[in-house]
Amino acid sequence: MPAVPLRLGSSEREGLASHRRGNDAAPRGPVRDNVKRPCSLGFRPHESTPNRTVTLRLRDTLTRAVLPVEPLEAGRVRMYSCGPTVYRYAHVGNLRTFLLADLIRRALLYHGIDVRHVQNITDVGHMRADDTGREVDPMLMAAGLEGRSSREIAEAYEAAFHADTALLNLLPAQEYPRATEHIPDMLALIEQLIGLGHAYLTPEGNVYYAVATFPGYGALSGNSLDELRAGHRGEVEPDKHDPADFALWKAAGEGRELRWPSPWGEGFPGWHIECSAMALRHLGPRFDIHTGGEDNVFPHHEDEIAQSAPIVGGPPARLWVHGAHLLMSGRKMSKSAGNFQRITELVEAGVDPLAFRYLCLTARYARKLNLSDASLAGAAGGLASLRAELAGLGTAPANGPWTPPPAVRADDSPALADRAHAPAAPLSRRGSDLHERFAAAIDDDLDTPIALRIARETLRAQLPEDERRWLVLDMDFVLGLDLDRAIPSAAPAEPGSSAFREALPEGAAELLAARTAARAKHDWPAADRLRDELRALGVEVVDLPDGTSEARALA
């Protein structure tokens, strides 16, 4: 299949020329540095964009600083997120990383900034070492183990990924490009990198990126080439010029299922070239934010910068934002180690999936978070109390100055409509203070623990009930906890409807909150007892397949 060139505009050509001059002037080897700090890039990682700054600030891994989001295009942010490798189910550690992108998007939408979000699907090329140290493709391994084709494996686990993110109320990206659908774009980039002297073809038909040709290599991770070379203690491919070089294209072995024609013979792409190609194709040569987990910093995002920078004249993204690991029993959650848990497993155990989202909000995204029965039970209790306190404010007005702001959910259209963030009636001085403090917490590198605290403070503030309700639901636009579902509506929906929100009898909200907490702790006798108490009040509790419960009036 012929490669489709990615054409550059004049500004990108000028940037590339500047980058080439930087390469000519730079020493051939890395500068030895004992401190983990950004390396010399040969270009500026961030350029000022006057009059386009929004209030949100995020921690940028490349500069080790918390920086304002400065959209390249006024009023619009373009964001790329590394998505799942679809050979297994995503675990909740993966979902915490995906939640980071969701929070960034919600925070920008909250301030009226449009967001174009692209999240890739890796369905080929993510090679990893097996027990013998030999590189294998987990897609093909999974296909062999399950007796299905690699395409069937990818389709099944991609569908499961979308179902899992919906449980966590993550807004869907506008596009989910698949690696297998972008082979021509990858070939075009590889050909350009060979032409620029950054990549080389070996007699075996492999193409490698020559890291020594890129003086900024290591800027993102803080690694030096000397350290990386010293770290290659295992078997190194004999056709590499340097142990630190990485594959852009690999020749296909005998009988390999996933293979494509290329100018260098049949083969398959390396993992890192995929994201460079998909990001450039769908977001252009420069975009605003790139997200991922901290395990993506090296080698994946380091290599992505090395691939894209010679083509576009600098790092493709302005900000590189990474979430910390989710720990399980104090250890990093990992598919390969078998130390992981799915969100559906939590649901099957009676945990509300939004309790896991709540748990993630209790920690800053750049800090490690431990998952345990105790932490989940605490999060379930915290979410239940928020819902109960909100339900205790009574029926929401159907119209008028304090009509609740519309919620935004995972099942909404990806093209979200503009949303007003002010009630028809003016906020009180105390209400304005709470509103401003919440926005400031979110703008401060997504300080969700403080934001949650302010939401709880708002529920208990000495303010009219309608104002408190409006404020908390406005905050939930970012928090994404679906708190509006806890509010009884003025007109009951049809029996059995998921929108059924009839006003609860006195004391029922507290019993529902207690039962949710009991289910999160797997205290089934207490949950059954509380169900009986609710029934005595005229409320039937129905436990749904997704782990949530609904209260319905007895006929």
Q: pLDDT digit string (tens) for 53-98?
A: 589 999 999 999 999 999 999 999 999 999 999 988 999 999 999 9
Residue 374: CB atoms within 10 A of its CB come to 10
Residue 443: pLDDT band (50, 70, 90) is very high
Share of the chain above pLDDT 70, in %: 77
Residue 319: pLDDT band (50, 70, 90) is very high
Residue 125: pLDDT band (50, 70, 90) is low
Q: State residue 222 phi and psi, 5-degree precision.
A: 85, 5
**Cβ-defined contacts of 337-341 (< 8 Å, 24+):** 340/91, 340/92, 340/93, 341/91, 341/92, 341/371
Question: What pLDDT score does 333 carry?
Answer: 78
Dist. CA 166–CA 476, nearest whole Å = 16
Question: What pLDDT score does 16 carry?
Answer: 33
Question: What pLDDT score does 547 carry?
Answer: 57
Residue intervals in the chain for CATH 3.40.50.620: 10-323
- Between 175 and 534, where is the model more confident? 175
- Between 479 and 28, where is the model more confident? 479
Helix (H), strand (E) at residue 267? strand 267-269
pLDDT at 551 over 60: yes
Q: What is the CA radius of gyration of the chain?
A: 26
Short-list 241, 250, 295, CA closest to 271? 250
Question: What pLDDT score does 142 carry?
Answer: 78
Short-list 252, 79, 246, 313, CA closest to 174? 79
Classify residue 330 as exposed, middle or buried by CB count within 10 Å of its CB (0-12, 13-18, 19+): exposed
Residue 338: pLDDT band (50, 70, 90) is low
Residue 548: pLDDT band (50, 70, 90) is low
pLDDT at 298 over 50: yes
Question: What pLDDT score does 550 carry?
Answer: 65
Q: Report the pLDDT averaged over residues 312-320.
A: 97
- The verdict on pTM exceeding 0.75 is yes
- Between 139 and 5, where is the model more confident? 139
Question: What pLDDT score does 427 carry?
Answer: 92
**Cβ-defined contacts of 427-432 (< 8 Å, 24+):** 427/467, 427/471, 428/463, 428/464, 428/467, 430/461, 430/462, 430/463, 431/461, 431/463, 431/467, 431/471
Query: Which of 14-28, 99-113, 350-364, 469-483 comes out lowest in average pLDDT?
Result: 14-28
Dist. CA 143–CA 157, nearest whole Å = 12
Residue 247: pLDDT band (50, 70, 90) is very high
Residue 297: pLDDT band (50, 70, 90) is very high
Q: Phi/psi zone of residue 255: left (φ > 0), alpha (ψ -120 to 50 degrees), beta? A: left
Three-class SS of 3-62: CCCCCCCHHHHHHHHHHHHHHHHCCCCCCCCCCCCCCCCCCCCCCCCCCCCCCCEEEECC
Could you report the per-residue pLDDT of 340-394, keeping only the tens digit for each?
Answer: 899 999 999 999 999 999 999 999 999 999 999 999 999 999 999 999 999 998 8
Looking at CATH, the fold of the domain delimited by 10-323 is given as Rossmann fold (3.40.50)
pLDDT at 467 over 60: yes
Dist. CA 447–CA 171, nearest whole Å = 20
Among all chains, which residue has been given the structure tokens 């009636």? Answer: 425
Question: What pLDDT score does 514 carry?
Answer: 75
CB 233 within 8 A of CB 219: no
Dist. CA 37–CA 26, nearest whole Å = 18
Residue 1: CB atoms within 10 A of its CB come to 9
Question: What pLDDT score does 126 carry?
Answer: 59
Could you report the per-residue pLDDT of 451-464, keeping only the tens digit for each?
Answer: 999 999 999 999 99
Could you report the per-residue pLDDT of 29-51, keeping only the tens digit for each?
Answer: 222 233 333 333 433 444 444 33
Question: What pLDDT score does 107 carry?
Answer: 96
Could you report the per-residue pLDDT of 250-266, keeping only the tens digit for each?
Answer: 999 887 888 999 999 99
Residue 549: pLDDT band (50, 70, 90) is low
Q: Report the pLDDT averaged over residues 308-315.
A: 96
Residue 135: pLDDT band (50, 70, 90) is low
Average pLDDT, the chain: 82
The answer for residues whose C-beta is within 8 angstroms of residue 543's C-beta and 6 or more apart is 350, 519, 549
Question: What pLDDT score does 515 carry?
Answer: 81
Q: Report the pLDDT averaged over residues 409-417.
A: 56
